[in-house]
Amino acid sequence: MTYPNLIPVLPELFMVFMIIVLLLVDAFTSEKQKGANLLLTMITLIGCFVLQKYVDHGVTELTFNNMFILDNLAMGTKMFTYLFSFVAVLYIKRYVSDKKFQSGEFYVIFLFSVLGMMVMISADNMLTLYVGLELFSLALYGLIALYRDNVRATEAAMKYFILGALASGILLYGISFVYGATGGHLQLEDVLRSMLTLGDANAGLMTFGLVFIVAGLVFKLGLVPFHMWVPDVYEGSPLAVATIIGSLTKIAAVVFVIRFLIGGLVLLNPAWSVMLLILACLSLFFGNVIAIAQTNIKRMLGYSTVAHMGFVALGLVTVSVDGVSATIFYVVTYSLTALAGFGILTMLSKGDFECQSLDDLKGLSKTHPVMAALIMLVMFSMAGIPPLVGFYAKFKILAALLAAGYVGVAVFAVIMSLIGAFYYIRVVKVMYFEEPVITLEVADVCIFSRSVLLVNVALLLIIGILPSALMMYCNALVSG
């Protein structure tokens, strides 16, 4: 009997340990000492970051009977996940205490969702991928439902839960076909190997399963026609939860898709890249066009996510190192941008107020010029206006598409981005050229959170001007 090598799993173990510590601490502290929850959450995320650095030996490590993989991709994306989770906690901590969330449960469930993301990112087996997905999704349903006195939040949680369970069922059904067609393999390398030896023998069964797998995967990304939950969930969930769902979870979701499609089922490639291509084009179209009609910012950002995920899927369609590293770059910078965007909205929601209507932002430049300028930069970055990072991210995806020969699709994507620019710039217009309707108050967030927000937005500009370092890093994650 050999014991599994626990060194690569140290960050996960630490996370589990700290979740249990946090549960106990929350149970035995009084209402006045609830700051301890926040402190422990931050320590956990920093600790995971440090441990992740410590276990990095630059080589791919497998453990637990090849169920767990720690390669460069897992390493890098996990680091981003910890970092962005930490920043998200800084942005939402005031909101969580203002809105009288049960802070202990909130942070515990949040850490559970981070754990789920970690598992999804470094899973090397369809079984672990699935369990990680369930852990992650269940935590998100819980986070939304935690705002239980709000009817919209309850409705959003219910909708997300039912549709998510359906998508999980579809995904599992697809996995069962792969399991049958490969003669009982779930480990991604084994699936690949048995497909090589089997040749075309079970292509029908595999394709049949693949359709269900792709449907389950794109539900998690939120591509049209599996996007119905995205705007509803964004609108219904409180801003603190929308900050988490709208930004940092996307990294894990994209890595999840990469593991499935490029790690395991790459040999079925012409089949799934065509599916993704069609879904991505539909998302670009519907996401951008429907977003124009929205007056709720959260809902608008929901549709904008659909469009952005369309871009991400286009990067995967190319199945080239350039395309996939452009995808990672895109999703990381998109998370950074969305994090800042939702973070600002969260900070503008003081007390019981929830800053979510486009009217709330009217004339923001007169009342809060700094906040208005930050929102402007975020919106320009999302629209893809040159000096900001959104432009470079879109450019790299388009370049990869052109290199792979999809000229028509690239042109279509550019036109759709142009349409999308309308509603981003409308936010800026509302802030700068209209008179205030209500006086927004900035929640009294600590100076540290404010400076992190400034750095966050500054990074959008800096990476936009000097993207090569991050791009090379993403490239190393994929090719190394």
Partner 1 sequence: MDVTSVLFYVFSAILLISGLRVITAKNPVHAALFLVLAFVNASCLWMMLGAEFLSLTLILVYVGAVMVLFLFVVMMLDVDLEAIRKGFWKNFPMALVLGVVVLIEMLLVVLKNPLVTMSANSDPATNISNSNKLGWVLYTQYSYPVELASMVLLLGLVVAVALTLRKSEKAAKYQNISKQVATDSKTRFTMIKMDAEVEDKGEAQ
User: Pick from 163, 205, 399, 421: which binds partner 1 (CB under 8 A)?
Assistant: 205
Report the alpha-carbon distance of residue 244 to residue 223 in Å, rounded.
Answer: 19
What does DSSP say about strands 68-70 and 61-63: parallel, antiparallel, or unpaired?
A: antiparallel
Give the binding range for partner 1 (CB under 8 A) out of 76-84, 128-136, 363-371, 398-406.
128-136
Q: Does 344 sit near partner 1 (CB under 8 A)?
A: no
Please, are residues 374 and 364 in contact by the beta-carbon 8 Å criterion? no
Query: Structure tokens of 186?
Result: 């779930």
Determine the angle formed by the axes of helices 297-317 and 321-347, rounding to 10 degrees. 170
C-alpha triplet 163, 169, 172: angle, nearest 5°:
140
Which H or E element spans position 61?
strand 61-63
User: Pick from 134, 155, 359, 441: which binds partner 1 (CB under 8 A)?
Assistant: 134
Beta carbon nearer to partner 1, 180 or 387: 180
Amino acid sitting at position 428: V
Beta carbon nearer to partner 1, 23 or 402: 23
Q: Does 60 sit near partner 1 (CB under 8 A)?
A: no
Minimum gap (Å) between residue 50 Cβ and partner 1: 22
Please, are residues 264 and 123 in contact by the beta-carbon 8 Å criterion? no
Minimum gap (Å) between residue 145 Cβ and partner 1: 6
Site string for partner 1, 301-340 (x = CB under 8 A): ----------------------------------------
Beta carbon nearer to partner 1, 138 or 401: 138
User: Which is nearest to 429 in space by CA: 379, 355, 357?
Assistant: 379
Which H or E element spans position 63?
strand 61-63
Please, are residues 382 and 421 in contact by the beta-carbon 8 Å criterion? no
User: Pick from 211, 385, 421, 459: which binds partner 1 (CB under 8 A)?
Assistant: 211
Query: Structure tokens of 330?
Result: 């895109």
Q: Does 71 sit near partner 1 (CB under 8 A)?
A: no
Give the binding range for partner 1 (CB under 8 A) out of 177-185, 260-268, 304-312, 414-422.
177-185
Residue 150 CB contacts under 8 Å (≥ 6 apart), including other chains: 238
Minimum gap (Å) between residue 208 Cβ and partner 1: 5
The footprint of partner 1 (CB under 8 A) covers: 1, 4, 16, 23, 64-65, 67-68, 102, 105, 108-109, 112, 115, 119, 125, 127-128, 131-132, 134-135, 138-139, 141-142, 145-146, 148, 180-184, 201-205, 207-208, 211
